Amino acid sequence: MSDMITLPPLPALARERYDAATAGALDALDCSAIRQRVDAFGHADRPQESYLTGWMAFNPLVIIRNYQDKRGTSSGVVLSVGDAYRFSVQTITPRIPKLLLWATLRSKPKTLPLVALQDLAAGDRRLVPYRAVRDTTLREQMTGWWAEINDYLGIACWQHSHGYPQWQALENSLSCDAVSRLHQWLQRDPQTLEHDGDYAGRWYDGLFIATRAASESNPWPSLLLSWKSPQRQASYLIGWLAGEADKPTLALALRPDAEMPFFTLNRFDAEHLQRLAALNALATQHAAA
């Protein structure tokens, strides 16, 4: 296998509404600030329970709206940091019997903010509130994660309000014909192809370029781009699904590590879309060399 890939520096992505510098202190967050972030992508008036998953580097960030269980209703963001921690910033409205509400002269339960951590590596799934965390290093990590979440949301908000230009650029530059040409280029090389599931290809300067040809069961070709770092071997998948009138619609996915499944990338996962575009350009350059 070739050495690790080195990408040229990618341009900084624009942000709006939120960023790391203005994230605010975790112990000063109120429900309004949390709810604004949950509603950043619209549909604020919908009462239905909903989930939206984005990818901060290789960690999933789930934006939760109106999750309900026997304890009450919650909305917020939950970041899973590998298999080690789950960091959540949520509003919680407890489910309180009406009789108890009447006794306290309230018409509805009070909604409260909750910033908490679960130590998954220790097998402890209890939610430990930020104020109860005594480890200074861990508190600093939580503050850092919150700053990164705000950077991610700021980039996503900018993409959303500007019509997702990063996604649109990929829709314009990626095509079934281009993937088919890469497939033909790989097939012409006399070297033995390496396989990754249904995909066959080779390593070129730290980039694994592999394709799957169109077939009766998969009417459009798809492209797998993998690279490695000291921590992982990650992959992007470029393909198409049937859209309106069975026309191909671009579908992109991330595999955070070699042994993991693929996860759908959203239109606002701009940093991944930017890196994917750069890797695809490298693959095209190798094919043209």
40-98: pLDDT as tens digits: 876 655 668 889 999 999 999 999 999 988 778 899 999 999 999 999 999 988 865 55
**140 in the same domain as 39:** yes
**222 in the same domain as 135:** no
Contacts (Cβ under 8 Å, ≥6 apart) of 246: none
User: Is the full-model pTM beyond 0.85?
Assistant: yes
**250 in the same domain as 117:** no
What beta strand segments (E) does 70-147 contain? 72-81, 85-94, 112-119, 124-129
The yes-or-no verdict on residue 107 having pLDDT over 60 is no
**200 in the same domain as 149:** no
**35 in the same domain as 64:** yes
- As a whole number, the mean pLDDT across the chain is 91
**Domain termination site, one of 162, 182, 216:** 162
Asked, for residue 14, whether it belongs to a domain, the answer is no
Contacts (Cβ under 8 Å, ≥6 apart) of 274: 10, 11, 13, 166
Write out the residue range of the structural domain in which residue 60 sits.
Answer: 20-162
Strand-pair partners of 56? 59
Asked, for residue 1, whether it belongs to a domain, the answer is no
> How big, in percent rounded to 5, are the helix, strand and coil portions of the chain?
30, 35, 35
Task: State the pLDDT at residue 2.
Answer: 43
Which range of 3-17, 103-117, 231-245 scores highest in mean pLDDT? It is: 231-245
Compute the distance between CA of residue 86 and CA of residue 57 in angstroms, rounded to an integer.
15
Asked, for residue 12, whether it belongs to a domain, the answer is no
Question: 178: pLDDT confidence band, cut at 50, 70 and 90?
Answer: very high
**Domain termination site, one of 105, 132, 162:** 162
Q: With pLDDT > 90 as the criterion, what percentage of the chain qualifies?
A: 75
The yes-or-no verdict on residue 99 having pLDDT over 70 is no
Q: What are phi and psi of 264, to 5 degrees?
A: -65, 135
**214 in the same domain as 127:** no
Number of domains in the chain: 2
Asked, for residue 172, whether it belongs to a domain, the answer is yes
**Domain termination site, one of 162, 179, 205:** 162
| DSSP for residue 32 | H
Task: State the pLDDT at residue 1.
Answer: 38
Asked, for residue 4, whether it belongs to a domain, the answer is no
Asked, for residue 3, whether it belongs to a domain, the answer is no
The yes-or-no verdict on residue 125 having pLDDT over 70 is yes
**184 in the same domain as 261:** yes
